[in-house]
Amino acid sequence: MNTLMNINPWSFLDDFLNADSRLFKSMRDRAAGRFPPVNAFLDDNAIYVEVELPGRTAKDVDLTLDPQAVTIADKPAEGAECAWRRRFELPFRVNAEKASAKFTDGILRIELPKAEAVGSHRIAIEG
Protein backbone atom coordinates (compact mmCIF):
# COMPACT_ATOMS: atom_id res chain seq x y z
CA MET A 1 0.00 0.00 0.00
CA ASN A 2 1.34 3.43 -0.99
CA THR A 3 1.20 6.20 1.50
CA LEU A 4 2.47 9.72 1.20
CA MET A 5 5.54 8.73 3.19
CA ASN A 6 6.74 5.99 0.82
CA ILE A 7 5.92 7.41 -2.65
CA ASN A 8 9.05 7.94 -4.69
CA PRO A 9 8.75 11.41 -6.30
CA TRP A 10 10.86 10.33 -9.29
CA SER A 11 8.59 7.40 -10.13
CA PHE A 12 5.58 9.70 -9.81
CA LEU A 13 7.19 12.17 -12.24
CA ASP A 14 8.06 9.34 -14.63
CA ASP A 15 4.46 8.06 -14.52
CA PHE A 16 3.21 11.61 -15.04
CA LEU A 17 5.42 12.22 -18.10
CA ASN A 18 4.69 8.79 -19.60
CA ALA A 19 0.92 9.33 -19.54
CA ASP A 20 -0.68 8.75 -22.91
CA SER A 21 -1.70 12.25 -24.05
CA ARG A 22 -0.39 14.84 -26.49
CA LEU A 23 0.50 17.30 -23.73
CA PHE A 24 2.48 14.77 -21.71
CA LYS A 25 4.11 13.27 -24.83
CA SER A 26 5.27 16.74 -25.82
CA MET A 27 6.68 17.36 -22.33
CA ARG A 28 8.41 13.96 -22.39
CA ASP A 29 9.89 14.64 -25.85
CA ARG A 30 11.22 18.03 -24.75
CA ALA A 31 12.72 16.50 -21.61
CA ALA A 32 14.42 13.85 -23.76
CA GLY A 33 15.87 16.52 -26.05
CA ARG A 34 13.78 15.61 -29.10
CA PHE A 35 12.62 19.18 -29.64
CA PRO A 36 14.97 22.16 -29.59
CA PRO A 37 14.26 24.86 -27.01
CA VAL A 38 12.55 27.94 -28.45
CA ASN A 39 12.13 31.47 -27.12
CA ALA A 40 9.81 34.03 -28.71
CA PHE A 41 9.65 37.77 -28.10
CA LEU A 42 7.01 40.18 -29.33
CA ASP A 43 7.08 43.95 -29.72
CA ASP A 44 4.94 46.47 -31.60
CA ASN A 45 6.68 45.82 -34.93
CA ALA A 46 7.63 42.12 -35.08
CA ILE A 47 7.96 38.77 -33.40
CA TYR A 48 11.45 37.37 -32.79
CA VAL A 49 12.06 33.64 -32.46
CA GLU A 50 15.29 32.07 -31.17
CA VAL A 51 15.87 28.33 -31.54
CA GLU A 52 18.77 26.55 -29.82
CA LEU A 53 20.36 24.08 -32.25
CA PRO A 54 23.83 23.21 -30.94
CA GLY A 55 25.96 21.17 -33.32
CA ARG A 56 23.79 22.02 -36.32
CA THR A 57 24.24 24.42 -39.22
CA ALA A 58 21.85 26.44 -41.36
CA LYS A 59 21.89 23.59 -43.92
CA ASP A 60 20.37 21.23 -41.30
CA VAL A 61 17.22 23.32 -40.76
CA ASP A 62 14.15 23.98 -42.92
CA LEU A 63 12.25 27.20 -42.27
CA THR A 64 8.80 27.81 -43.81
CA LEU A 65 6.69 30.93 -43.45
CA ASP A 66 2.94 31.01 -44.02
CA PRO A 67 0.96 34.26 -43.85
CA GLN A 68 0.27 33.74 -40.14
CA ALA A 69 2.51 30.81 -39.05
CA VAL A 70 6.14 29.73 -39.06
CA THR A 71 7.39 26.13 -39.21
CA ILE A 72 10.89 25.10 -38.16
CA ALA A 73 12.03 21.52 -38.88
CA ASP A 74 15.14 19.45 -39.32
CA LYS A 75 16.17 18.52 -42.86
CA PRO A 76 16.21 14.73 -42.86
CA ALA A 77 18.57 12.67 -44.95
CA GLU A 78 17.08 11.53 -48.24
CA GLY A 79 14.44 8.88 -47.66
CA ALA A 80 14.39 9.50 -43.90
CA GLU A 81 11.55 10.95 -41.89
CA CYS A 82 11.75 14.37 -40.23
CA ALA A 83 13.00 13.93 -36.63
CA TRP A 84 11.31 17.07 -35.28
CA ARG A 85 9.06 19.89 -36.46
CA ARG A 86 7.77 22.94 -34.57
CA ARG A 87 4.94 25.08 -35.94
CA PHE A 88 3.95 28.37 -34.34
CA GLU A 89 0.74 30.22 -35.10
CA LEU A 90 1.44 33.96 -35.06
CA PRO A 91 -0.85 36.64 -33.59
CA PHE A 92 -0.65 38.73 -36.79
CA ARG A 93 0.10 38.49 -40.51
CA VAL A 94 3.79 38.63 -41.41
CA ASN A 95 5.50 40.69 -44.10
CA ALA A 96 7.34 37.81 -45.82
CA GLU A 97 9.52 40.15 -47.89
CA LYS A 98 11.04 41.70 -44.76
CA ALA A 99 11.34 38.46 -42.74
CA SER A 100 14.89 37.34 -41.98
CA ALA A 101 16.75 34.48 -40.34
CA LYS A 102 20.34 34.21 -39.13
CA PHE A 103 22.20 31.20 -37.77
CA THR A 104 25.08 32.02 -35.41
CA ASP A 105 26.85 29.83 -32.83
CA GLY A 106 24.11 27.20 -32.75
CA ILE A 107 21.29 29.75 -32.38
CA LEU A 108 18.76 30.34 -35.14
CA ARG A 109 17.34 33.87 -34.85
CA ILE A 110 14.24 34.68 -36.87
CA GLU A 111 12.68 38.13 -37.25
CA LEU A 112 9.10 38.25 -38.52
CA PRO A 113 7.87 41.83 -39.02
CA LYS A 114 4.17 42.61 -38.99
CA ALA A 115 2.49 43.17 -42.34
CA GLU A 116 1.07 46.60 -42.98
CA ALA A 117 -2.43 46.84 -41.62
CA VAL A 118 -5.03 46.84 -44.33
CA GLY A 119 -7.46 49.62 -43.61
CA SER A 120 -11.04 49.87 -44.71
CA HIS A 121 -11.68 50.95 -48.26
CA ARG A 122 -14.86 52.43 -49.71
CA ILE A 123 -16.12 50.67 -52.83
CA ALA A 124 -18.29 52.52 -55.30
CA ILE A 125 -21.51 50.75 -56.22
CA GLU A 126 -22.61 51.02 -59.82
CA GLY A 127 -26.23 51.29 -60.84
> Can you give the CATH number for the domain in which 67 is found?
2.60.40.790
pLDDT tens-digit map of 63-81: 999 888 999 998 877 777 7
User: Going by C-beta distance under 8 Å and a sequence separation of 6 or more, which residues neighbour residue 113?
Assistant: 45, 46, 94, 95, 98, 99
CB 91 within 8 A of CB 42: yes
Residue 31 in domain? no
pLDDT tens-digit map of 87-114: 999 888 898 899 999 999 999 999 999 9
pTM above 0.85, yes or no: no
Residue 22 in domain? no
Number of domains comprising the chain: 1
Residue 67 in domain? yes
